[in-house]
Structure 1
Amino acid sequence: MKRIAVLLCGLAVIGGSVSARAQDDKAKIDERLVAAGQVVDEIMATPDKGIPSGILAGASCVVVIPSYKKGAFVVGAQYGQGVATCRTASGKWSAPVCVQLAGGSFGFQIGGQATDLVLVAMNQQGLQQMLKNKFKLGADAAAAAGPVGRNAQAGTDWKLNAEFLSYSRSKGLFAGINLDGTVLSQNQDDTRALYGADVPFAQILSGKQVTPDDARPFVRTVAKYFVVAKNR
């Protein structure tokens, strides 16, 4: 009986530890969702420096990575956690999934920065890349710096070649950000924590998954700005 009691006590401790860890993970994801919504709000707060309306209307998916970390001393390293949503067949925005962006770079560079990063998928090829387990920017999918400003005239290069347009807001001293060679991948553990079960990314991004209450503000923020004009 004593051994059974000890075993049950041990299982209870383990169960409590797992539950607490799951709650911590969920809290971190909720914070990330709030931060991602704030990034979009702040980028669009100044229309003359925001994302042009034509790009807002044509976006297939939006990826937001708050405080994307990049540092370098001869060898560079990049890493960030974020969330993504895609426009569904009905025109609405899907429930979000959790993603991560990681990579490295070589060169004579010294510095460090934290950057709020927004990636906009501009066509079906970009959408299809989002449904994969992971893909490399610059190799599997072309990425280009997106034009800014309410009346900015976007060039033809991104229309012809870029599956993703990138927008960043630096908080540090590191000059610029280069996404070539970085890998965008699914964060399945965090997505599981958000939904409480293993839900396929394709099911979520196609609009077949109900948006969790905690994620609704982020999706509403994206929907507020990434709108297709009525006369389109």
Structure 2
Amino acid sequence: LGFGGRWGKGAVACRTEGGKGPWGPPLMMSLGGGSFGLQIGGQAADVVFLIMNAKGIDYLLKSEFTLGADASVAAGPVGRTGEASTDLRMQAEILSYSRTRGLFAGVALEGAVVKQDKDGNRAVYGEDVSPRELLFLWVHPVPDAARGFVGLLNTISPRPAE
């Protein structure tokens, strides 16, 4: 038996122009949580969350939410994941994809708290910003600190064809 923890920081971005334009400015987020039980080892993971529907977006706009309790999370349909559940009917609000390094028995994303990284957003934008302003109203331009990230998104995921 042992205690475990998970922690990380990341960014969320949406396309502008109703999903047809280039990627907009990112919102900084953090993920954290603890666990207790039969677990051993250590692991690093890169996790991507795909918000699949309006309910998932509503959770993202809250100050924080808990995966598995507030918002349903399921492993994406392809690839190596750190989450054991799958979503065969595609009803989860959030799909997770992860790439892991190391060995850890008992990893799960359920119970992790996802919240806005207010300090990270303040560092990037120089002021307090709201998720709605960044993700849907595009009040703020893409800051210099995020140009590389947004440029990469625009390169690997170009605008959809009309």
Sort the TM-score into its range (normalised by shorter chain). 0.7 to 0.9
Query: Which one of the candidate residues 61, 71, 88 is aligned to 1:131?
Result: 61
- The answer to whether the Cα contact below 8 Å between 1:103 and 1:181 also exists between their aligned partners in 2 is yes
Structure 2: 5+ residue runs without aligned partners?
80-85
Structure 1 residue identity aligned to 2:20: G
| One of 90, 95, 102 as aligned partner of 1:165 | 95
2:10 paired residue number: 82
Name the SS of the counterpart of 1:208 in structure 2. coil
Contact 1:144–1:158 under 8 Å retained in 2: no
Higher strand share: 2
- Structure 1-normalised TM-score? 0.60
User: Root-mean-square deviation (CA), in Å?
Assistant: 2.2
Aligned 8 A contact 1:136 1:182 in 2 = yes
**Tell me, what secondary structure is at the counterpart of 1:172?**
strand
1:209 corresponds to 2:140 = yes
User: Per the alignment, in what secondary structure is the counterpart of residue 81 of structure 1?
Assistant: strand
Which structure has more helix as a fraction of its residues?
Answer: 1
- Structure 1 residues 122 and 79: alpha-carbon distance in aligned structure 2, compared to 1, 3 A threshold: same
Q: Judging changes above 3 Å, is the alpha-carbon distance between structure 1 residues 111 and 177 closer, same or farther for their aligned structure 2 residues?
A: same
Deviations 1:99-150 (A, max 9, x none): 110111221111111111111111111112111100011011111100227x
What pairs with 1:47-58 in structure 2 (closer than 5 Å)? none
Distance (whole Å) between structure 2 residues aligned to residue 179 and residue 197 of structure 1: 31
Deviations 1:78-117 (A, max 9, x none): 1111111123325232201111101112211111111111
CA-to-aligned-CA distance 1:53-73 (integer Å, 9 cap, x gap): xxxxxxxxxxxxxxxxxxxx6
Question: Partner of 1:193: helix, strand, or coil?
Answer: helix
Give the Å deviation of 1:176: 6.4
Residue type matched to 2:95 in 1?
L
| Gap change, CA 1:176 and 1:208, over 3 Å in 2 | farther
Q: In percent, how many aligned pairs have the same letter? A: 45
What SS does the aligned partner of 1:205 have?
A: helix
The amino acid that maps onto 2:120 is: D
Structure 1 residues 229 and 85, CA gap change in structure 2 (3 angstroms): closer
Q: How does 1:213-228 map to 2 (within 5 A)?
A: 213-226=144-157
Normalised to the residue count of structure 2, the TM-score between the two structures is: 0.83
Instruction: Mark the structure with the bigger radius of gyration.
Output: 1
State the distance in 2 between where 1:109 and 1:156 align.
25
